[in-house]
Amino acid sequence: MGKLIVVSNRVAVPKARGAAGAQGGLAGALNSALRDYKGIWFGWSGAESDDENDEISTQSHEGVTTATIDLSHRDIDEYYNGYANATLWPLFHFRLDLTEYERETGKGYERVNERFADSVTPLIEEDDLVWVHDYHLIPLGERLRSRGLKNRIGFFLHIPWPPTRLFVSLPYHERLVRTMLHYDLVGFQTVEWRESFLHYCSEELGAEVNEETGSVTLDGRTTIAKAYPIGIDWDHFQAEGETGEARQAGQRLLSSTRRRTAMIGVDRLDYSKGLPERLDGIGRFFDQFPERVRDLVFIQIAPPSREDVESYKQIRAELEQKAGQINGARSEVDMVPIRYVNRGYSHAELFGFFRAAKIGLVTPLRDGMNLVAKEYVAAQDPLDPGVLILSQFAGAALQMPESLIVNPHSPDDMAYAIRTALDMPLAERQRRYEATIDTVRDDNVQHWTKDFMADLTSIGTSG
């Protein structure tokens, strides 16, 4: 067995366990998979450099080698901010209204995928397994095949796959999906996204599709499409929850909310997360149940992301305005109903906040999976668990049907769910928690990695 080569847009340089700062579930999982396979993680360093040389910088830490390249200003603009985040991201989240179609950014996307293929090919040896991640790098498998690679190559899409009717709005959609059929294994978060992909392959490409096995055959090549729901790094998160940092964070929140119930939302500031709609739901709750304004304090933690993309600037402004409006109308001299915080916190602090908050609000308009929903449940005290209010449009809803499932587009639905959560008796909170916790603990990120790698290892390759 050769080594594992992971390729993703960004590389999260491994940190020692317990080191300061948050390490996402994905970074942790990939690091442990890479350690087991003695692997290399290749991607963009996150730095901008207009220097034309293709230098790869490598670093090794506990058996994991990271290999990174810098991108030019134009590459970042066209590939990252442009095609990946202003075309594919909104389209894959069903937002045709926000999807930009620009020829130049499409060319930039293909150019950077070529550049990734050029740079990573020399690192790949005959028996190595290659695992490519996410929408930034859809064509990479085909680019690697055109350089003669016969290795097993897998791909995982972290975000939804849109219905065919929406997907065909993308110019050259066929060309893009055909490149995916050069992977041996293509993974999706849920059966729903996998189904949409199979539908597209059969209807638009005329591929031979077997719904049961997920095999897609076209031009003599076969690709398997399968669902692998991602999970959290349970052990790591629990260990973080044991720290003084977690306890202090929880106490800080509790002492500042006193007798009011804390309700929490933690999201990247992204329009897919349904943040303005969430505030509409909270505003509706205060309108419908004015006598309960003093029962609740809502804490929204939303660090800005992708700030160079126009739609992200707009969502930020919209959110500030809505939070300001509700607070202006509902605050008293000694009470502010919404605390809106634009910064990141460590996983230990998030654990403390989640445990202290008796309601978790996770209401994306569309989400591949959503790890915050799982982290919220993982942080609860089994003897006195909080209630998760979860959007029906998050991939996580399929795995956590015992949460309070809501339609995030309906302020009424959210308002009534908040009231139900506030009044829910302990026995019912415990029942819902018990029905959910096993999947959060067992379908964790190590399990996800193991499942994908087992299939990639055993699958045949059409080379």
Q: Which of 158, 178, 355, 358 binds ligand ADQ (CB under 6 A)?
A: 158
Q: Choose one: 27-35, 65-73, 260-268, 397-405; the region binding ligand ADQ (CB under 6 A).
A: 260-268
Instruction: Give SS3 for 6.
Output: strand
Q: Which of 230, 249, 323, 404 binds ligand ADQ (CB under 6 A)?
A: 230
Q: Is 73 a catalytic residue?
A: no
Instruction: Give SS3 for 299.
Output: strand
Q: Write down the least CB distance from residue 301 to ligand ADQ, Å.
A: 4
> Residue 64 in contact with residue 29, Cβ under 8 Å?
no
Q: Write down the least CB distance from residue 429 to ligand ADQ, Å.
A: 22
What does the per-residue mask of binding to ligand ADQ show for 321-350, with x meaning CB under 6 A? -----------------------xx----x
Q: Which of 5, 11, 25, 319 binds ligand ADQ (CB under 6 A)?
A: 25
Q: Which is nearer to ligand ADQ, 357 or 369 (CB)?
A: 369
> Residue 297 in contact with residue 427, Cβ under 8 Å?
no
Q: Is 367 a catalytic residue?
A: yes
What does the per-residue mask of binding to ligand ADQ show for 77-116, with x meaning CB under 6 A? ----------------------------------------
Q: Does 371 bind ligand ADQ (CB under 6 A)?
A: yes
Instruction: Give SS3 for 62.
Output: coil
Q: Which of 13, 22, 191, 336 binds ligand ADQ (CB under 6 A)?
A: 22
DSSP H helices in 138-209: 140-145, 164-167, 173-180, 191-203
Q: How far is CA 326 from CA 74, 222, 288, in A?
A: 41, 54, 14
Q: Cα separation of 192 and 174, whole Å?
A: 20
> Residue 189 in contact with residue 368, Cβ under 8 Å?
yes
Q: Write down the least CB distance from residue 232 to ligand ADQ, Å.
A: 7
Q: Which of 207, 209, 266, 389 binds ligand ADQ (CB under 6 A)?
A: 266
Q: Cα separation of 233 and 445, whole Å?
A: 5
Q: How far is CA 30 from CA 37, 64, 340, 420, in A?
A: 10, 10, 32, 39
Q: Which among 93, 158, 182, 236 is annotated as catalytic?
A: 158
Active site positions, annotated: 158, 367
